[in-house]
Structure 1
Amino acid sequence: MTLNPSPRAAAARKFTAGLAAWFEARGLDPDSEALSGTPGRVLRALDEFTAGYEDDPARHLARVFPVEHSGQPIAVTGVPFTALCEHHMLPFSGTADIAYLPKPGAPVAGLSKLPRVLDVYAKRLQTQEQITKQVTAALDEHLQLLGAACIIRSEHGCLALRGARKPGSQMVTASYTGVFYEDPQARAELHTLFNARA
């Protein structure tokens, strides 16, 4: 008895066959030594770039620690990431500054958790605007806090490599919740923290 292939396996076969057909349409030999393994390699790369669909920010933010803190924001700055644009499937890469202000007496997340939450969303077909909002929404949902913030700066392949072809241009997006949205002074102090250098 032959079992029906899983939808993912069937989709993988269609994808690799489709890419091989595209090679042929471009006048290339999909069975050549150089290209015969390329469809499979492309598929594995795309699976790696979109592994965030199989992850959940709740998993990373569930582990917290009862730490006394000063009532000031907790921030991780300059966190690198790469995502795939959902419009052209070209990469965009940059850094994120992420912060939150715990409620008095609330536990805090481990140091690695903010970058991991960023990766959950960056490893999906994305827009930068969505990632920025998704990070703060996840912090709001899973931590006890007074506000969250995320600022992302990145260079987009769809702007640098095609169309307008403006390499070096950066897109900047920001999301603020709670006190960082409501209080301009708190937001200004947060920006000072983000821009601080040792």
Structure 2
Amino acid sequence: MSYKILEEYTQPLVDNIKDNYLSILKNVGEDPKRDGIVKTPERAAKAMQFLTQGYEMDAEQILLGAMFEEDYEDMVLIKDIELYSLCEHHILPFFGKVHVAYIPDGKIVGLSKIPRVVDVFARRLQVQERLTRDILDAINKTLQPKGVAVVIEAQHMCMMMRGVQKQNSATTTSGFRGQFKESETRNEFLKLIS
């Protein structure tokens, strides 16, 4: 039995990006006609289009598509959401985990929509600080909950592979709105994700 992964690409965009990757390969001294490299520009172009598909997505529409009235007033926590993004400074990956919590105010959202919101903003050229705020603000604006919390823990290849070359470093960013600004609620959230 076999399976097929459906990936869609905009061919004119792939062709344009492919030409740029071909130029890069030549400029770094690689032979673009070498057997292992011949298809690399097209593969890299498709990868770049996939890794930046967040520009074509709308977090608000994702959340609105699965929002439900519900009389639930306690914390909803989705933790350890896998994160993969590209640093806008070097176009190198950063990766880690995202923890998101909200306290509903009459509306909840389908649980799978929170990781999708993470991907909307992660699949763009990013800095971790803005990524944290983007996720937080999208959930806060659309759901209008009593509070929202986001913590991101990530490792950055731009720090690991080049520059300071610190392989064991990690960066943590956080953002809090509403009731999560109160120390008791924030501390409960932080305890649950530790």
TM-score by length of 2: 0.88
Counterpart amino acid of residue 24 in structure 1? K
Residue 38 of structure 2 corresponds to which residue in structure 1?
36
Q: Which segments of 5 or more consecutive residues in structure 2 lack a partner in the other structure?
A: 1-9
- 1:17 CA drift (Å): 2.7
Q: Which residue of 2 aligns with 1:21?
A: 23
What are the residue-to-residue correspondences of 1:134-149 with 2, within 5 Å? 134-149=134-149
Structure 1 stretches of 4+ with a deviation exceeding 3 A read 11-15
- Cα deviation for residue 14 of structure 1 reads 4.4
Cα distance in 2, alignment partners of residues 137 and 77 from structure 1? 18
Unpaired runs of 5+ residues, structure 1, are: 1-6
Q: Which residue of 1 aligns with 2:90?
A: 88
Greater C-alpha radius of gyration = 1
Match of 1:52 among 54, 75, 80: 54
2:96–2:152 CA contact under 8 A, matched in 1: yes
Matched with 1:66 is 69
Question: What's the counterpart of residue 164 of structure 2?
Answer: 164
Q: Shift of residue 102 of structure 1?
A: 1.1
Count residues in correspondence: 184
Does residue 179 of structure 2 align to residue 176 of structure 1?
no
Measured in 2, the distance between the counterparts of 1:108 and 1:126 equals 28
Deviations 1:88-147 (A, max 9, x none): 0000000011011112xx020011111111111001000110110111101111103111
Q: What is the Cα-based RMSD across aligned positions, in Å?
A: 1.7
Deviation at 1:18, TM superposition (A): 3.2
Identity fraction in percent = 33
1:3 match = none
Residues in 1 aligned to 2:104 and 2:163: alpha-carbon distance in whole angstroms: 43
Report the Cα distance in structure 1 between the residues aligned to 2:89 and 2:185, rounded to whole angstroms. 35
Query: TM-score by structure 1 length?
Result: 0.86
